[in-house]
Amino acid sequence: MNKQLINTCSAMVLLASVGLSAGVQAQSGLGDVLNQARAPRAAEAALYQQRSKEYNAMSDSDKQRALQQANANRAAVQQQVDAKVRKYSDNDLQITQLNKELQEKARKLGLSEIFGLARQIAGDVSTNVKQSLVSAQFADDRQKFLASVAGAEKVLTPAQLERLWLEIQREMTADGEVVTYKGAVVEANGSPITTDITRIGPFTASANGKYLAYIPALSRLTMLRRQPTDLINPAVLQGASSGYVSAVADSTRGVLMNMHVESPTLLERVQKGQEVGYVIITVGALGILAFLYQLAYLIMARMGVTAQMRNLQHPERDNALGRVLLSFKGDASKIEENAEVAELRISEAVMREVPKLERFQPFLRLAVASGPLLGLVGTVWGMILTFQSITESGSSDPKLMAGGIGQAMIATVLGLLVAVPLLFAGALLNSLSRSIVQVLDEQSTGMLAENIEKRKNV
């Protein structure tokens, strides 16, 4: 009995100490937290020791009276608890019975289907309102109200049905409006501001000449991290007061806009290729420069040969055909005897012109072959990075693999983008050079044959 009394007193002391500790203000630092946790235990131990001494100092009769008093107090409290539990149970049964009667009356009157339909509509509208751009303008508890109606287990009241209709009507009306209102906007750096917001129905919103994005979890509008440069400037709509104005309306309610602004630029795509991509671009740039230089040379050479063909009797050294025709300097009276020598000299002159005409073509063929191979190197390197990220993280999260796969694909694309144009460029240079060489062969051989024929007729 004495032990039971001591335990009862200790429990009362513990409850008192817990209530006291709950009112203590929180202090900073782990040391303060530890001291604050130790203080109630020390106070409890001291109080326990004091009560133990007081109890041990009592006479047997006083101990008996204290024990009887504690038991009487506990019995009185237990009676109060039992009475309140019975009262709660009776009230719960009565509420359950009344709810059954109410539901039965609602069923007889045909209201159950109405309430069920209202809950279903409230659930659908709650989902739409949560994702709607309009919710940023109406900073009230309509989302909470719609969710409560959708999950209500009791009979809906006329006030709830009326407000449900009003909220649906308000959303429908706002969806067809173009309005400007004062509201909070979170800037790209995270700082909130209050400014004029122009909203086009549930589609797009803009402020300070910038497009905004809606965050449903926070019911806040935030400025897009990157503003689209190829769309209509929203400042045009914000500055208009009447009439018709061209503007952007995202029918997907922000999905397409986010995809559009997050699409990487050409420079960002190239940077994803990293070192291998830079090597491929360097090879491609050198190939393009060589192609342009040689193309200009061949065009000039073709023009010079064409001009020389109009005056074959007076060859000039400023063009390839003229230099070939001037290569034979033998005696015209002995041209038939020296025909083989003349032919060799002409062939020598043509071969002397060929290296200039076919310049850079081997390099272009090398660039065409090396482009896909370098792209393959970048692909393999990107896949190595992908598998490395999977190994280090221990998961196959697509976001972790996106970097390596992106590098692999960009390197492959760069390799093909270099190889395909240079392939056509090399074919064009080859065609132009071969046509000029063919003209040199034809004209020089024809000139030699004509001189030999003239010599025979003399």
% of the chain with per-residue pLDDT over 90: 10
Instruction: State how far the Cα of 93 lies from the Cα of 99, in Å rounded to an integer.
Output: 10
Q: Which of 428, 156, 417, 114 is nearest to 270 (CA)?
A: 417
pLDDT digits 0-9 by tens, 330-386: 444 444 455 666 677 777 778 888 888 888 889 999 999 988 888 888 888 878 777
Instruction: State how far the Cα of 401 lies from the Cα of 383, in Å rounded to an integer.
Output: 9
Range with the poorest average pLDDT among 146-150, 153-157, 263-267: 263-267
The four Cα atoms 421, 424, 426, 432 give a dihedral, to 10 degrees, of -140
Type of residue at 75? A
Q: Which pLDDT belongs to residue 28?
A: 53
The overall pTM is greater than 0.85:
no
Joined tokens for residue 327: 């290569």
Instruction: State how far the Cα of 379 lies from the Cα of 224, in Å rounded to an integer.
Output: 33
Contact 385, 326 (CB under 8 A): no
- For residue 27, what pLDDT band results from cuts at 50, 70 and 90? very low
pLDDT reading at 55 higher than 50: yes
pLDDT reading at 19 higher than 70: no
Q: Which pLDDT belongs to residue 84?
A: 92
pLDDT reading at 456 higher than 70: no
Joined tokens for residue 200: 């086009």
Instruction: State how far the Cα of 125 lies from the Cα of 117, in Å rounded to an integer.
Output: 12
Q: Which of 129, 209, 238, 224 is nearest to 175 (CA)?
A: 129
pLDDT digits 0-9 by tens, 185-227: 888 787 888 888 888 888 888 888 888 888 887 778 888 877 8
DSSP symbols for 175-218: HT-EEEEEEEEE-TTS-EEEEEEEEETTTEEEETTEEEEEETTT
Instruction: State how far the Cα of 68 lies from the Cα of 23, in Å rounded to an integer.
Output: 33
DSSP 311: T
Instruction: State how far the Cα of 88 lies from the Cα of 177, in Å rounded to an integer.
Output: 52
DSSP 242: S
| Higher per-residue confidence, 159 vs 382 | 159
pLDDT reading at 303 higher than 80: yes
Instruction: State how far the Cα of 321 lies from the Cα of 306, in Å rounded to an integer.
Output: 9
pLDDT digits 0-9 by tens, 99-126: 888 777 767 766 677 778 888 888 888 8
